[in-house]
């Protein structure tokens, strides 16, 4: 079972290397973190289990329809109890549910357990939801007055007439002016919070979705395997512009991250120019046209 799941998984991941929704796509976005890889494998396992159940139930139904219809079976039997069959149809579903629960709890514990790494190697970012944008606080970067470095991340599109259409470089309703930037292969701890109503910070390729609740800090972690640009969206209905508070994350190499951070502390526009220079996808032109 496990082997089939892994084989299916690798077949699926060959098809596309997108980190955003694609028209006509089936299934999840390709996994960019170990959390999402495991989640995708679990999903594939569930797919195998429900496929087997559907086939067995359909086969039983067909057998009954053909074998025991009123023409084929003129004298129906009158029995109403069969202990053996009742034990089977109770224990088999219980067994299936226990298998699902076993793997499901494994995934939950994996996501909820912070990796065993040196605290000095962890990058802490707070994602704060506002009606209607995200603000990113780089909590390890504090100025002389004690303020954390932060910037506001606004969408480029607002779904209105006359707005620039989406492009491959700046997909519609996903691209932002100042994206979040993190280094590859590094544990990132994200605290989510909100100032007004409940939002939710979600990035499908990372396998992450955590509510951002006013007056409460939630915590999540991820470690991205590959550099690239990844997109997510607010995933808790938060008001009229809920659809227009996307999440854009640039995952870059460590030296690139350090160079970006150096610039971002002084001038976020300078940092964005630098980012546009190193990223395959650049939204600088669209962003400055706003
Ligand atoms: Cu929201």
CA 113 to centroid of ligand 1, rounded, Å: 26
Quick check: 136 and 210 in contact, CB under 8 A? no
Ligand 1 center–CA 240 separation, angstroms: 9
CA distance 279 to 1: 40
Strands 228-234, 133-142: parallel, antiparallel or unpaired by DSSP?
A: unpaired
Residues 6+ apart with CB under 8 A from 8: 44, 47, 48
Distance separating alpha carbons of residues 260 and 241, to the nearest angstrom: 30
Tell me the CA–centroid distance for residue 119 and ligand 1, in Å: 30
DSSP type of residue 102: H
CATH fold for the domain made of 119-288:
Immunoglobulin-like (2.60.40)
For residue 180, the CA-to-ligand 1 centroid distance in Å is: 17
pLDDT level of residue 164 (50, 70, 90 thresholds): low
pLDDT for the residue numbered 288: 39
C-alpha to C-alpha distance for 155 and 132, rounded to whole angstroms: 9
Q: Residue 185: is its pLDDT beyond 60?
A: yes
pLDDT digits (tens, 9 = 90+) for 229-278: 999 999 999 999 999 999 999 999 999 999 999 999 999 999 999 998 88
- CA 41 – ligand 1 centroid, Å: 29
Reading the block at residue 217, the tokens are 């800090």
On average, the pLDDT of the chain sits at 88
Q: Which among 180, 141, 157, 143 is positioned nearest to 272, based on CA atoms? A: 180
Output the CA 10–ligand 1 centroid distance in Å.
Answer: 34
* Coil, helix or strand at residue 61: helix
Residues 49-93 have pLDDT tens digits of 999 999 999 999 999 999 999 999 988 888 889 999 999 999 999
Say if residue 152's pLDDT is above 50. yes
**Beta sheet of 148-153, edge-to-edge order:** 148-153, 133-142, 123-130, 188-194, 218-222
Does pLDDT of 283 surpass 70?
A: no
Residue 284, pLDDT above cutoff 60: no
Letter string b/e over residues 33-67, b meaning 16 or more CB atoms within 10 A of that residue's CB: bbbbbbbbbbbbbeeebeeeeeeeeeeeeeeeeee
Q: What is the mean pLDDT of residues 2-15?
A: 48
pLDDT at residue 277 in the model: 86
- DSSP strand pairing (188-194 vs 199-203): unpaired
Alpha-carbon Rg for the chain in angstroms: 25
Instruction: Give the CB-side neighbour count of residue 21, counting CA atoms within 13 A.
Output: 13
- Residues with Cβ < 8 Å from 186, sequence gap 6 or more? 121, 122, 123, 223, 254
Q: Do domains 2-112 and 119-288 have the same CATH topology?
A: no
Give 203 Cα–ligand 1 centroid separation in angstroms.
Answer: 13
- In the chain, where the domains are located: 2-112, 119-288
CATH top class, domain 2-112: mainly alpha
The band of 158, judged by pLDDT with boundaries at 50, 70 and 90, is: confident
Write down the pLDDT at residue 36.
96
C-alpha–C-alpha distance, residues 119 and 137, integer Å: 18
User: Measured in angstroms, how far is the CA atom of residue 19 from the centroid of ligand 1?
Assistant: 21
Angle at 211 between CA 221 and CA 196, to 5 degrees: 125
């Amino acid at each position: 079972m496990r082997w089939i799941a892994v084989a299916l998984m690798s077949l699926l991941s060959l098809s596309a290397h997108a980190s955003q929704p694609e028209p006509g796509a089936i299934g999840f976005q390709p996994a960019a973190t170990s959390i999402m890889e495991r989640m995708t494998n679990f999903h594939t396992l569930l797919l195998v289990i429900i496929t087997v159940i559907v086939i067995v139930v359909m086969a039983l139904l067909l057998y009954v329809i053909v074998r025991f219809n009123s023409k084929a079976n003129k004298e129906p039997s009158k029995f109403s109890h069969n202990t053996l069959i009742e034990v089977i149809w109770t224990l088999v579903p219980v067994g299936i549910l226990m298998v699902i629960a076993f793997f499901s709890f494994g995934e939950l514990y994996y996501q909820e357990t912070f990796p065993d790494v040196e605290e000095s190697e962890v990058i802490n970012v707070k994602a704060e939801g506002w009606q209607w944008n995200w603000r990113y606080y780089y909590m390890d970067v504090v100025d002389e007055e004690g303020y954390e470095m932060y910037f506001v991340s606004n969408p480029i599109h607002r779904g209105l007439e006359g707005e620039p259409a989406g492009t491959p470089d700046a997909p519609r309703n996903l691209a932002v002016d100042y994206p979040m930037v993190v280094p590859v292969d590094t544990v990132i701890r994200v605290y989510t919070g909100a100032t007004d109503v409940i939002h939710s910070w979600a990035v499908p390729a990372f396998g992450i979705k955590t509510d951002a609740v006013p007056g409460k800090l939630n915590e999540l972690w991820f470690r991205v395997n590959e550099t690239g640009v990844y997109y997510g969206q607010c995933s808790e209905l938060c008001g009229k512009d809920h659809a227009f508070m996307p999440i854009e994350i640039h995952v870059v190499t460590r030296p690139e991250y350090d160079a970006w951070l150096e610039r971002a502390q002084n001038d976020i526009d300078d940092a964005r120019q630098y980012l546009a220079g190193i990223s395959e996808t650049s939204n600088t032109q669209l962003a400055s046209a706003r």
